[in-house]
Amino acid sequence: MTNATVQAYRASLLHFHADPAFTPDAHHWHEDGLLVVADGKVRAAGDYATLRATLPPGTAVHDHRGKLITPGFIDTHIHYPQTDMIGSPAPGLLPWLDTYTFPTERRFEDPAHAERVAEFFLDELLRCGTTTALVYCTVHPQSVDAFFTASEKRGLRMAAGKVLMDRHCPDFLRDCAESGGRDSEALIQRWHKRGRALYALTPRFAPTSTEAQLVVAGELARKYPDIYIQSHVAENEDECRWALELFPSARSYLDVYDKYGLLRPRAVYGHCIWLDERDRARMAETQAAVAVCPTSNLFLGSGLFDFERADQAGMLLSLATDVGGGTSFSMLQTMNEAYKVARLKGSYLPALRMFYLATLGAARSLRLEGTIGGFAAGAEADFIVLDPQATPLLARRTAHCDSLEELLFALALLGDDRAIAATYAAGREVHRRA
């Protein structure tokens, strides 16, 4: 290996090998650390004092001392077409969908519009330190092409898919069971595993799909076991009542997805607020994962996710923004509100756990452990440089932290896109803060 292909980054390093809620010493922390990257992959992560001797002579060492390197954040639930309607007011989920979401998504019929929004969206994620996301496009197949084209240009590991929606929506956004299935399959064949792209089958939520469409979705899920499935469940009480009216034979809202074979590994469900104990057990058993979306849940008044019950059931957890229902692209801001949601439910989320959920926890939910979300040798080199002195207030607060937990907590509670000094994807710099 020539020294030109090896790059090394000196900073404090943090990554995880286990969930700190269940395993003591689940994290690796190197106060004066070195991340060694070659050909877009992690070659080693450890103490600077140990690893510097292993570098080929003449290797460039990028000096980020005083800053913190972690794996890039992973956002497991976000809608790129809703970028332009972030922060739009409405009294709850269902009126918000009708008033803002559907008219905004209509514009993605135009591939040029889709391309412009996809470009902005990905740059904004990278500014916030998010290197992988599980992304909703719109019902239009061209919105998926625009997204993956923009993502491929940047060399990002992204999962996304075309929304399936064949009822209870405006005509201009409606597919049908047959066309939705055919379009999804064509997109799977075009994009799944092309470069770093991964496909996600995307029935919007049970109320906007007929039984016929859910049958088709279940068939595709069986035929392509390594694609993702993403949807919404148990976000809002009105939505839950509506779902049960539409599917009277289901035991619960979650049970609708179960009946059609849509609970399985690589299935990720947004929200999961109003689940009962049987639902939680079923999620754990099938290894379907939860995307917890606190900024969205507080903004839309949907409810408070129960971390304690989810952990008791052994559910796979991750954090997500749910932009445009969510009010920030930043996973730090998302941690901030997750922490408060946990407090309001009488439980406690340490900062270390929140950083786990936004990195390795999400990678596990996506079955991508060893590929992203950590610094094991051979992992893809998606990482960020966090600056504890990014703002005057952060600098003042982090000047006297007595523990790693205090430092991470300050970054989560006071940080946002300004705390991301640089973002790297597959070893390439894709954002640097001016």
Tokens of 311: 């952990």
Instruction: Say which entry of Zn ion, ligand GUN, none residue 101 contacts (CB below 5 to 8 A, set by partner kind).
Output: ligand GUN
Any contact of residue 105 with Zn ion (CB under 5 A)? no
Helix, strand or coil, per DSSP, at residue 144:
helix
Tokens of 248: 């009277």
By beta-carbon proximity to ligand GUN, the closer residue of 79 and 162 is 79
DSSP class per residue in 255-306? HHHHHTT--STTEEEEE--S--HHHHHHHHHHT-EEEE-HHHHHHTT-----
Instruction: Say which entry of ligand GUN, Zn ion, none residue 59 contacts (CB below 5 to 8 A, set by partner kind).
Output: none
- CB of 233 vs Zn ion, minimal distance in Å: 11
List beta partners, residue 9: 35, 62
Task: Report the residue number whose CB is nearest to Zn ion.
Answer: 322
Count of other CB atoms within 10 angstroms of residue 400: 7
Any contact of residue 322 with Zn ion (CB under 5 A)? yes
By beta-carbon proximity to ligand GUN, the closer residue of 196 and 204 is 204
By beta-carbon proximity to Zn ion, the closer residue of 322 and 416 is 322
CA–CA gap between residue 427 and residue 382 (Å, rounded) = 6
Residues 6+ apart with CB under 8 A from 189: none
Any contact of residue 235 with Zn ion (CB under 5 A)? no
By beta-carbon proximity to ligand GUN, the closer residue of 27 and 79 is 79
Instruction: Say which entry of ligand GUN, Zn ion, none residue 415 contacts (CB below 5 to 8 A, set by partner kind).
Output: none
Instruction: Say which entry of ligand GUN, Zn ion, none residue 93 contacts (CB below 5 to 8 A, set by partner kind).
Output: ligand GUN
The residue assigned the tokens 């068939």 is 219
Distances (CA, A) of 112 to 107, 116, 117, 135: 10, 6, 9, 19
Tokens of 48: 């600077």
Any contact of residue 115 with Zn ion (CB under 5 A)? no
Residue 38: in which H helix or E strand, if any? strand 27-38
The residue assigned the tokens 């440089």 is 385
- CB of 82 vs ligand GUN, minimal distance in Å: 7
By beta-carbon proximity to ligand GUN, the closer residue of 90 and 281 is 90
Q: Are 345 and 419 in contact (CB under 8 A)?
A: no
Q: Which of residues 257-286 bind Zn ion (CB under 5 A)?
A: 270
- CB of 325 vs Zn ion, minimal distance in Å: 6
Interface contacts to ligand GUN, rule CB under 6 A:
79, 93, 97, 101, 204-205, 232, 235, 296, 322, 325
By beta-carbon proximity to ligand GUN, the closer residue of 97 and 363 is 97
Any contact of residue 75 with Zn ion (CB under 5 A)? no
Residues in contact with Zn ion by the rule CB under 5 A: 270, 322
